[in-house]
Amino acid sequence: MTERTPGFSTLAVHAGAQPDPTTGARATPIYQTTSYVFENVDHAASLFGLQAFGNIYTRITNPTSAVLEERVAALEGGTAGLAVASGHAAQVLVLHALMTPGDEFVASNKLYGGSINQFNHSFKSFGWNVVWADPDDVTSFERAISPKTKAIFIESIANPGGVITDMAAISQVAKRAGVPLIVDNTLATPYLCRPIDFGADIIIHSLTKFLGGHGNSIGGLIVDGGTFNWSRDKRYPMLCEPRPEYHGIVLHETFGNFAFAIACRVLGLRDLGPALSPFNAYLILTGIETLPLRMQKHCENAQAVAEWLSRHSQVSWVSYPGLPGDRYHNLAKKYVPKGCGAVFTFGLKGGYDAGVKLVSNVKLFSHLANIGDTRSLIIHPASTTHRQLSDEQKVKAGAGPDVVRLSIGIEDKEDIIADLDQALAA
C-alpha cells in the first residue's frame, strides 16, 4: 500500500510539527532562547562549517521558526523555507542572494505600495535597479529584460486591486531569459493558489496577513521552489561560486534543490539580521492551523460584499475577479478556482473626499493599514498606504483618488454589508 499524501488541511495543522521529545507537549513550544549548547567542539565546528544541521544562534535558526518554515514550504509545495521578521525583510533577503550592484530586476507595476516604494527608493542604496512592467501586457516583461536582469517579481493576486496575474505566461518569459520568477503569494495564500505549480521558482509571504490571520504578529517567509538551476550560466555567484565565509563551499553544489533557502539563511539572514521572534513564529503557526477554514469564509464574504457594492448607486466600479464581468474573471478560474481572496477595491463616484468620509463613518470595519485579519478592514490608499507615490503611480498601482480598499473579515456577511450601507448613507 502506497503512503498517502496528506491533504492541505492536514498539512496546515501537522506539517513540520512533532510532540516535544522532552516534555511531550503537543503544541509547538516557544523556544525563547538566544543560543544553544554544543555537544562538543567537533559538533560546534561542523555547525559553523555547514557540515551539519542544527542550532547555533536564534538570529540564524530557531526550533519554533523551523516548524513554521517547514509548514509553509509544505503548503506551497517547495523544498525549504526561511522565516524572517517581515514581508519586506523577505524581499530584501531574496534580492540580496540574487543581485550585485548595477543589476536589474523586472517587477509588475501592480504591487503593494510599500513594495513599489522599497523597489524604487530603498533598493537603490544597494545599487539594485527595478524596471517596471505591466502584468496586463505580458510582452512588456519581454521588453524589460536586459543582460543585467537577474529576476522577475510579481504578485499572484495584486494588492490592492485584486488583479490576477498570468503567472504561467510570465514564467515562460523568465525561463526564456534564464532568470527566476519570484511570486509574492500573500493575498492568495497556498490555500487558493500554489505559484510553483505555474512556474514560480521563489515564493515570498508577508506572514502578517492571512497566514497569521489575526493581526497580532509581523513576519515574513521565503519558500525555495527547488526548481531553478543556479549553476547553469554562473550568473548567481552567491549560489554557484565558492563562498570564502565557509571555506570554499559552493552552495548549489552542496545543497542542491534547497540551496537558495540556505543562501538566504547563511549569507543574508546571518549578516543582515532580520530574524523572526520565536513568539511571533508561535502565533503565526497557530493561525495557520485554521487557514483553510478562514480563507473559505473570507472568500464567501468577499464575494457577497462585492456583489452588493456592484449594485450600489454611489459606487462607480468594483474590482473583484469573482464578479462575472470583471476583466480578470477568466484568469481567476484558472489560478484561484476556490475563491478570489478577501481583498479588493471599489471606486466612489464622489472621488477622494467621498473616500475619506466613508472610512471616517464605518463602525464594524477598522480603518487601518493592514489586510488579512479576521476582522473587516478598510482604507483609502491614496491618502495612506500609497500617498508617497505620484498621482500617475497611484493610478497605475490601482490606488487612484476614488479608490477604497477592503479586506473582508470572517464576521457575518449581513453585518459587514450593513456597516458599509450606513457609512455610505452617512
Q: What is the pLDDT of residues 123-168, one digit of tens each?
A: 999 999 999 999 999 999 999 999 999 999 999 999 877 899 999 9
Which segments of the chain belong to CATH 3.40.640.10? 8-287
**How many beta carbons lie within 10 A of that of residue 237, not counting itself?**
12
DSSP 345: E
Contact 75, 197 (CB under 8 A): no
Q: Is the CATH number 3.40.640.10 carried by domain 8-287? A: yes
Q: What is the pLDDT of residue 161?
A: 76
Q: What is the pLDDT of residue 49?
A: 93
Output the pLDDT for position 2: 62
CA dihedral 21, 280, 79, 254 (to 10 degrees): -80
Give the residue carrying C-alpha cell 490592492.
160
pTM of the full structure: 0.95
The CATH H-level (homologous superfamily) assignment of domain 292-425 is Aspartate Aminotransferase, domain 1 (3.90.1150.10)
Q: Coil, strand, or helix at residue 67?
A: helix
Q: Please identify every stretch of the chain with a pLDDT value under 70, giving residue numbers as ranges.
A: 1-2, 396-397
Cα(34)–Cα(341) distance, integer angstroms: 37
Residue 36: phi and psi, rounded to 5, are -140, 140
User: What does the pLDDT read at residue 1?
Assistant: 44
Domain with CATH 3.90.1150.10 in the chain: 292-425
Which candidate, 164, 354, 307, 151, places its Cα nearest to that of 239? 151
Quote the pLDDT of residue 119.
97
